[in-house]
């Protein structure tokens, strides 16, 4: 493991000896990292390197005390991004001598049907991640670039891939198969994979801990609502249904993504509007959802616009909530009963309006939201249902970095 000056940090030491993991989330032009003390369940430092390869980059490093160091700097590639990160640790702390990671955990978006648990990265694993890029061309190549750079920066510790899709590999065939020609679908690996799996796994277990019950006996519906959004039916700690499909485009209406759509709409746009494949892709992923419907991709802006009388924004919010209610009802039918509905991620944790609208009218199904509890703001897990609600309604903050760190440590600890 090389520091900025080429020195080799100690194998362990300091806070959380033997329990420190570096979590890496590598994008095509960014590197997000967090040094996690798994024993304490808290970050020791975090950072973000942006605009990699763009000439004028920007990098930020934050230590455990919240002190932020920023720098405008040109970052040529992911190797240079890791060099900057190591220098930031050396200059601003914590020291990687006394807080040396025992492993590096990597977020990898698409694991296909091959990876259903966190996996120590080998040359064969990297070949598979690269080969699966056909299913995630915007993500897997970037994830792999981060892995290669991290291995050079930290050569003496194990590296572990934690896949967004892995948690959903417990879905039964009736949940993940599309009603397509079976041979053609298998040839091209067309099926539902689901995403946000790391978050759904973390939140379902955190919800069980909050309720003081084993996750194995609970039936939960987890609503991960951020700019990207997905619902997941969790039965006994296992994913049995999720709203995203072969790609993150399917399912709930999102910030800029359309969510569920009649496939013939794509054909209609190609035939009548003369849109090409790339134009349709851009439309459905970047110019649809709340942005397309209501003019705002950020839920805070959309909610403010609706409150000020913007009719398009109001209708967009209704569409957003209607889609969530539809999935809640469908998953309740699949689960047979629902012990708790759990909101998480940026919108789910912070928007009382979205939570109230999403569950409005479900009182007959035993879902009652307490308006006062729902309006309270807190960074802690909390109950927002009434005392009489047969189904618990919770808000549980997600922590994907901690979950990746935990899974990484579990693998390397044997």
Q: What dihedral angle (degrees, nearest 10) is formed by the CA atoms of 398, 400, 404, 405?
A: -70
3-state secondary structure of 256: coil
Residue reference for tokens 């892709």 = 281
Active site residue 181: no
User: Is there a contact between 328 and 317 (Cβ–Cβ < 8 Å)?
Assistant: no
For residue 196, how far is the Cα from the chain centroid?
A: 4
User: Is there a contact between 36 and 23 (Cβ–Cβ < 8 Å)?
Assistant: yes
User: Counting beta carbons within 10 angstroms of the beta carbon of residue 370, is it exposed (0 to 12), middle (13 to 18) or buried (19 or more)?
Assistant: middle
Neighbours of 292 (CB within 10 A): 17
| CB hemisphere CA count around 195 (13 angstroms) | 21
Neighbours of 378 (CB within 10 A): 10
The DSSP code for 114 is T
Please identify which of the residues 63, 164, 235, 339 carries the catalytic annotation: 164
CA distance 162 to 121: 10
Catalytic residue list: 164
């Amino acid at each position: 493991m090389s520091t900025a000056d080429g020195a080799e940090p100690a194998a362990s030491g300091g806070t959380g000896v033997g329990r420190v993991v570096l979590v890496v989330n590598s994008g095509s032009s960014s590197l997000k990292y967090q040094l996690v003390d798994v024993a304490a369940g808290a970050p020791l430092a975090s950072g973000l390197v942006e605009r990699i390869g763009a000439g004028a980059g920007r990098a930020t490093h934050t230590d455990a005390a919240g002190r932020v160091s920023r720098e405008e700097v040109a970052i040529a590639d992911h190797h240079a991004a890791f060099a900057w990160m190591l220098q930031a640790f050396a200059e601003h702390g914590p020291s990687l001598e006394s807080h040396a990671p025992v492993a590096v955990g990597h977020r990898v978006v698409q694991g296909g049907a091959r990876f259903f648990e966190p996996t120590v990265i080998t040359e064969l694993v990297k070949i598979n991640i690269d080969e699966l890029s056909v299913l995630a061309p915007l993500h897997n190549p970037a994830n792999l670039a981060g892995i290669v750079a991290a291995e050079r920066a930290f050569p003496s510790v194990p590296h572990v891939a934690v896949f967004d899709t892995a948690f959903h590999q417990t879905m039964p065939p009736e949940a993940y198969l599309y009603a397509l020609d079976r041979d053609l679908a298998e040839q091209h690996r067309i099926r539902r994979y689901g995403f946000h799996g790391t978050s759904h796994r973390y939140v379902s277990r955190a919800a069980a801990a909050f309720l003081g019950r084993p996750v194995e006996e609970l039936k939960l519906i987890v609503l991960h609502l951020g700019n990207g959004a997905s619902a997941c039916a969790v039965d006994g700690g296992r994913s049995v249904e999720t709203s995203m499909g072969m790609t993150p485009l399917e399912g709930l209406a999102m910030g800029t993504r359309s969510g569920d759509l009649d496939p013939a709409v794509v054909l209609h746009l190609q035939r009548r509007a003369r849109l090409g494949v790339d134009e349709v892709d851009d439309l459905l992923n970047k110019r649809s959802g709340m942005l397309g419907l209501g003019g705002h991709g950020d839920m805070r802006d959309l909610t403010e616009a609706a409150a000020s009388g913007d009719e398009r924004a109001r209708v967009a919010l209704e569409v957003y909530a209607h889609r969530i209610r539809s999935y809640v009802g469908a998953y309740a039918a699949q689960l047979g009963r629902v012990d708790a509905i759990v909101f998480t991620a940026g919108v789910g944790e912070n928007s009382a309006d979205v939570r109230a609208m999403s569950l409005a009218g479900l009182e007959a199904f035993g879902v009652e939201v307490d308006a006062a509890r729902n309006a309270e703001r807190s960074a802690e897990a909390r109950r927002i249902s009434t005392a009489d609600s047969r189904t618990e309604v919770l808000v549980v903050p997600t922590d994907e970095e901690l979950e990746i760190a935990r899974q990484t440590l579990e693998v390397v600890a044997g």
